[in-house]
Amino acid sequence: GSPRLLVLLAAARANSSPVVSRALRSGSLLPGCLPALMSSSDTTAALDTAIPLLAWYAFNGAFNVENKRVLNELSYPWIISWVQLAAGIGIAVPAWLLGLRRPPLLTAAVLLRFLPIAVLHAAGHALQVAGIGAGSVYFGTIIKATEPLIGTLIAYAVDGKAAPWYVNLTFVPIVGGIAYAAAKPGAAADLSDLASFAAVAALSSTVFFALAKLLVKRLMTADMKRRHGLDAANTYSVLTCCSAALLLAPSYAAEGPAVLAALAAAGEGGSMVGRRLLLCGLYYFAYNECGFRVLDKLSPVSQAVANAAKRLVILFF
- How many CA atoms, within 13 angstroms, populate the side-chain half-sphere of residue 159? 16
Q: In this model, does residue 315 exceed pLDDT 90?
A: no
pLDDT tens profile 222-264: 999 999 999 999 999 999 999 999 999 999 999 999 998 888 8
Average pLDDT over residues 186-215: 78
The sign of the torsion formed by the CA atoms of 153, 159, 165, 168 equals negative
- DSSP annotation of 186 reads T
In the DSSP assignment, the letter for residue 27 is T
* Residue range 12-69, pLDDT digits in tens: 444 444 444 444 344 444 444 444 444 555 677 677 778 888 888 889 888 988 888 8
Supply the pLDDT for residue 147: 72
**CA atoms of 230 and 260, how far apart (whole Å):** 36
CB-based contact 4:11 (threshold 8 Å):
no
How confident is the prediction for the chain on average, in pLDDT? 78
Which is more confidently placed, 140 or 230?
230
Q: Give CA–CA dist 78/125, Å, rounded.
A: 9
Structure confidence at residue 168 (pLDDT): 67
Identify the pLDDT of residue 157. Answer: 81
Say how far apart CA 204 and CA 200 lie, in whole Å: 6
